[in-house]
Amino acid sequence: MSQTPSENPTNPDQENTPKPPKTLETLNPNQESSKPVQDNENPGQDLEEEEEGECPFCAYMKGGECREAFINWEKCVEEGEDNGEDIVEKCVQVTMALTKCMEANQDYYAPILQAEKVSEEQR
């Protein structure tokens, strides 16, 4: 008796079945994604400043009170990378401003601050 493709666990077609995308809750904050971010609460929202393929981490950071501080940090890092500069030295002021803002808005940014703390402890 032959098995149908759905009964055969070694069917190559099953290996290529797309997996559901990760949500912000399951995504590592340091991991980037090329998938566009969708705003389910406001599907028609104008996203003129946000890139179509923006990473979920970036969208999350821009979703809180520290949006402008994050955008300034992001621009500094991109500029430093484009010019071959030391981004740690170049962006120290905007990094401090972003960190201060995040600490002042811990209700929203607590998961990111906690992940950063764990990362530092592992070094």
Distances from the Cα of 118 to the Cαs of 16, 75, 82, 111, 115, in angstroms? 35, 26, 30, 11, 5
Assess contact for 46 and 63: CB atoms under 8 A: no
- Residue 8 belongs to a domain: no
- Residue 7 belongs to a domain: no
Report the domain count for the chain.
Answer: 1
Range of the structural domain that residue 70 is part of? 54-123
Model confidence at 54, pLDDT cuts 50, 70, 90, reads confident
Q: Which of 52-56, 98-102, 105-109 has the lowest mean pLDDT?
A: 52-56
Query: What pTM was computed for the model?
Result: 0.57
What's the full length of the chain, in residues? 123
Q: Please measure the distance between the N-terminal and C-terminal CA atoms of the chain and give it in whole angstroms.
A: 57
- Residue 22 belongs to a domain: no
Query: How do residues 70-86 score in pLDDT, each as one tens digit?
Result: 999 999 999 999 999 99
Count the neighbouring beta carbons within 10 Å of the beta carbon of residue 91.
21
- Residue 48 belongs to a domain: no
Q: Which residue stretches of the chain are H helix?
A: 12-15, 56-62, 67-82, 87-90, 92-104, 106-121
- Residue 114 belongs to a domain: yes
- Residue 71 belongs to a domain: yes
- Residue 36 belongs to a domain: no
